[in-house]
Structure 1
Amino acid sequence: MTTAWQQVRAVADAVLYEGYLLYPYRASSGKNQARWQFGVLGPAQAAELGLGEDDTLSAELLVDPGPDTALTVVVRFLQLQHRAVERDTLGRFEPVDELTVAGHTWLTWDEAVECEVSFGPFSESELATLQTLPIVIAGGTDVEHVDGGRLIRTRAALCGELTVRSEADDDLLRISLAVRNTSAAPADKNSAIARSLIGTHLIAEVTGGEFVSLLEPAASAAAAVSRCRRHRCFPVLAGPQGCTTMMLVSPIILYDHPEIAEQSEGALFDSTEIDEILTLRVMTMTDQEKAQARATDPRAAEIIDRCDAMSPEALLNLHGVLRNPHAGTEIRSLVPEVPEGMDWWDPLADTAVAPTIDAVMVNGVRVSRDSRVRLHPCRRADAQDLFYADKVARVTCVHETVDGDQQIGVVLEDDPAAEMHDWYGRYLYFAPDEVEPLSEGKSPWK
């Protein structure tokens, strides 16, 4: 497996198990009563019947083709596996929610099995014709005997299909991918989730060509990118920075070339949380709480054991790394410096800066309060920034952080509540390289 594949698979695994089980990793926790939030493709008619999710995920990708372009697609998802606990009562087995024998506990619980199906490689000529490829995952029942009873693990059979086709778009090749769950219609919510493809995502690899970024395309590809459509997914370039041969079609919003922080010791199934905080909270759990988590799921047991065994050095690594994005560059600042010999947190230091009159140079133009700018969000600091692309805004203030980073506060011109936001100081903030100064006129509402 190449380094690129290793990095892509690490991120794909994080997507696959996102929300699988949340802190405190116990079945009794309310947040673990409603699971399987991402990438769930329900069986036929599940959505229409109000019993499950939509059955399809689809995306369009762009390839800059070469002489021998070929495409490989990997479909990955989880298959629900119900673990039922039965107690041995004089040779007869009866279902129970919990079985405890000699200090060991087993719970009735829904586990999951990883499924991965690879298709291709497909040549450019093959892609010109619609390819409809079956996805078949067998069901089954496994019995594990334990002290005082047994565990019955059951899986429903899953059926689906992947469709792939291509068509020319200017000088590029548009690849249309769709995964659909074709399993039989469910009778209730339990059968719906049992027949669902969970955490569904795709990994696409191209040889003899390059994928085009759908987030930050070159100017020559912008029109083609605007014509791309997606349904319930977010395709991004994957692999190391600079790699253009792999795409991850994720059910979760990501940026190009996502990666797992090298300081991370392992999955915690909650990427919206901070590893250090979750690890510390696991360490503070009581022995009884940890035993309940271990009894819930083998993957929860791995988390508990990993956190308990973590060294002080590994825990310190989770504290994070401070990087200076401006290292090695000279920055001209129009924000006054805090007087020498004065601490930045000293109240008197506040008199050295005035956000409503301070300024910053952007493309040789002085930007300060009342300047008009066009927004070009590129830092991906917030997913909502995408909605502000190309919007015209009025600058309200210029700030500088204690780390030396400059932030420009703005309100949108076409926001009916702009004056109110300005009145009580609710601004949107962007870096200087995310705004384009405009010279014409004043804001229409000013």
Structure 2
Amino acid sequence: MTTAVFPPGTEERLAVARQAADAVLFEGYVLYPYRASAAKNRFRWQFGVLVPPSWNHAGDHCLQHTECLMEPKTGAELAVEVRFLRVRRRTVEELRDDGTYAPVPELRLADRTLATWDEGTEERITLTVPVAALDGEGTTVPFTRPAAEETEEIADTDGRLRGRLVRRHEEISGVLRISAAGLDGPYRVSRLSVTVENTSPWQARPDDDRPAALARSLVAAHTLLRLDAGSFLSMTDPPEWARSAVAACDNRHTWPVLAGEPGRADLLLSSPIILDDHPAIAPESPGAFYDATEIDEMLALRTTTLTEEEKREARGTDARAAAVIDLADTLPQELLERLHGAVRGLREVTGGQQPPGGQESPVDALLAPDTPWWDPAGDPTVDPDRDHVLVEGRAVRAGSRVLLCPRLRRSDAQDLFLDGRSALVEAVLHDVDGGTHIAVTVEDDPGADIRREQGRFLYFQPDEVRPLEGSCTTES
């Protein structure tokens, strides 16, 4: 259900962004082994869940707020599409001998086993608005989806009526608020604000569980934006002049990235899952496996190993789960081989013997050189045991003591445990791209000697360490 119809040009552009947005919408929808009885499928809906305001539990939120920068041209229009899943509870009822129906935990048919399950139906809230109309308070779009119930009779493979499925939607309500404000400075830049909020009037009771709240929630909620004239700025890698304005943007429970083809900036996806700019589905992917944290090849192979009984249950769990089973069972060998890996790019390298009568191709040089194109042991310009790098005006080399400060980059969760620890520099290494890496062992690590013996060090860049007193940092 939509609240507006986009013109053809806008619809075509948004369709490009939806290819990646679909992965956000259905991430974790049903996980391997794709059965309702599997433990991992009993606690679902983890990303972008906007709960009713009365459901006040830690970790759940009733709104998403996006702020980003845009450079609209005069007369530009902004297309907005909010997408989410609406939970639909499906219960199974068996036909009794007296012609009545009774709820049952599962219903075994010849080709599948049906069980109680929460399905997800896609909903969209869409509108197109002139950018000039967003100044000040902007525009507000309330929306409601009423409660509904429907039944589906279930027959076995022989045509005999066996039961029915009862599907029920609970009522949900929400509001979409959009506004924009021009920023001071020499550039025509505006800060765009988009808020999606669940305003459902349902009142949670003390004995209500999370599934009761999920039935009235916006699940996997995310927002697509498109400017028909102008562009968005990257929030991940903004131009230098816009960095302070980007840092001032307030994004809560979502993160905006440029969408669509690299090199274009008319599309933006604000996602509850952190993505890079221009996210895309790998061309090798044969279909949706609903688990972007896993590898398609592994999921396809594992799915083919399910027993026939497990496949029966998966097919009865959900239509999307059944599609995964069918996909894995019918995947041609040549497509399966494509999942094993792909070369995204090649670069020319030097070294190796030239073939007679011609120039060696970059591919040959990369994949099958006769001799190493670079031998670090034979390069007199590098010596990890003696090389040094200047940090805060002091030379840091093997034997130096340093204070670890990885918080400057926030590149790894492990950094939280290493921040502020003292370490011993084991080597200073230079890579072929001109980067410098400092190999260290943590001083109070009981396994430091083993790490040193095996050469298993932790690596930091020069701006992630500070020299400590008592280091052998004298210039030679």
Q: TM-score, normalised by structure 2?
A: 0.75
Instruction: From 112, 120, 130, give the equivalent of 2:128.
Output: 120
Structural mapping, 1:63-212, within 5 Å: 63-89=70-96, 90-147=98-155, 148-170=162-184, 171=187, 172-184=189-201, 185-187=203-205, 188-189=208-209, 190-212=211-233
Letter in 2 for 1:132: T
Residue by residue over 1:176-232, the C-alpha shift from the partner in whole angstroms, topping out at 9 and shown as x without a partner, is 111000002333123211000000000011122210101100011111111111100
1:92–1:375 CA distance, 2 compared to 1 (3 A): closer
Q: What's the CA shift for 1:254?
A: 0.4
- 1:57 and 1:386, CA in 2 relative to 1: closer, same or farther beyond 3 A? farther
- Tell me: CA distance 1:376–1:109, structure 2 relative to 1, closer, same or farther (3 Å): closer
Aligned length: 409
Return the match for 1:15 from 20, 24, 30: 24
In structure 2, relative to structure 1, the CA distance for the partners of 1:43 and 1:368 (3 Å cut) is same
- Aligned counterparts, 1:280-291, within 5 A: 280-291=301-312
Distance (Å, rounded) in 2 between the aligned partners of 1:230 and 1:296:
36
Report the alpha carbon displacement of residue 360 of structure 1 after superposing the two structures with TM.
Answer: 11
Is 1:6 the counterpart of 2:15? The answer is: yes
- Residue 5 of structure 1 and its aligned partner are, at CA, apart by 2.9
Alignment match of 1:356 (pick from 379, 384, 389) = 384
CA deviation string 1:63-121 (max 9, x = no partner): 12322232111000000011110011121111011012344421111111000110222
Moved more, 350-359 or 12-21: 350-359
TM-score, length of structure 1 as denominator length: 0.80
Q: Tell me what 1:334 maps to.
A: none
User: What does 1:280-359 correspond to in 2, within 5 Å?
Assistant: 280-324=301-345, 327-328=347-348, 356-357=384-385
Unaligned 5+ segments in structure 2 are 1-7, 156-161, 352-368, 390-394, 472-476
Query: How many angstroms apart in 2 are the aligned matches of 1:288 and 1:210?
Result: 52
Distance 2:119 2:140 in 1: 30
2:163 & 2:470 partners in 1: Cα distance? 74
* Identity between Structure 1 and Structure 2 (%): 36
Contact 1:410 1:429 in 2 (8 A): yes
Q: Answer whether contact 1:369 1:398 (CA < 8 A) is retained.
A: no
Q: Which moved more, 1:251-260 or 1:92-101?
A: 92-101
Higher strand proportion = 1
Q: 2: CA distance between counterparts of 1:273 and 1:149?
A: 36
Structure 1 position 285, deviation (Å): 1.2
2:272 to 246, 251, 257: 251
Alignment pair present for 1:30 and 2:39: yes
Q: Which of 38, 43, 52 does residue 43 from structure 1 map onto?
A: 52
Q: How far does the alpha carbon of each residue in 1:354-381 deviate from its partner, in whole angstroms, 9 at most, with x for none?
A: 98338799xxxxx995699999999x98
The AA in structure 2 aligned to 1:110 is: D
The CA distance in 1 between the partners of 2:414 and 2:143, in whole Å, is 35
Give the partner amino acid of 1:427: L
Q: Distance in 2 between matches of 1:177 and 1:386?
A: 32
The alpha-carbon deviation at position 7 of structure 1 amounts to: 3.2
The letter for the 1-side match of 2:175 is: E
Q: Secondary structure at the match of 1:223?
A: helix
Unpaired runs of at least 5, structure 1: 332-339, 362-366
**Structure having the higher Rg:** 2
Residue of structure 1 aligned with 2:253, choices 232, 243, 249: 232
d(CA) in 2 for partners of 1:384 and 1:118? Answer: 41
Equivalent position to 1:398, from 429, 433, 449: 429
Structure 1 residues 229 and 218, CA gap change in structure 2 (3 angstroms): same
SS in 2 for 1:231: coil
**In 1, Cα distance between equivalents of 2:104 and 2:344:** 53
SS at match of 1:129: coil
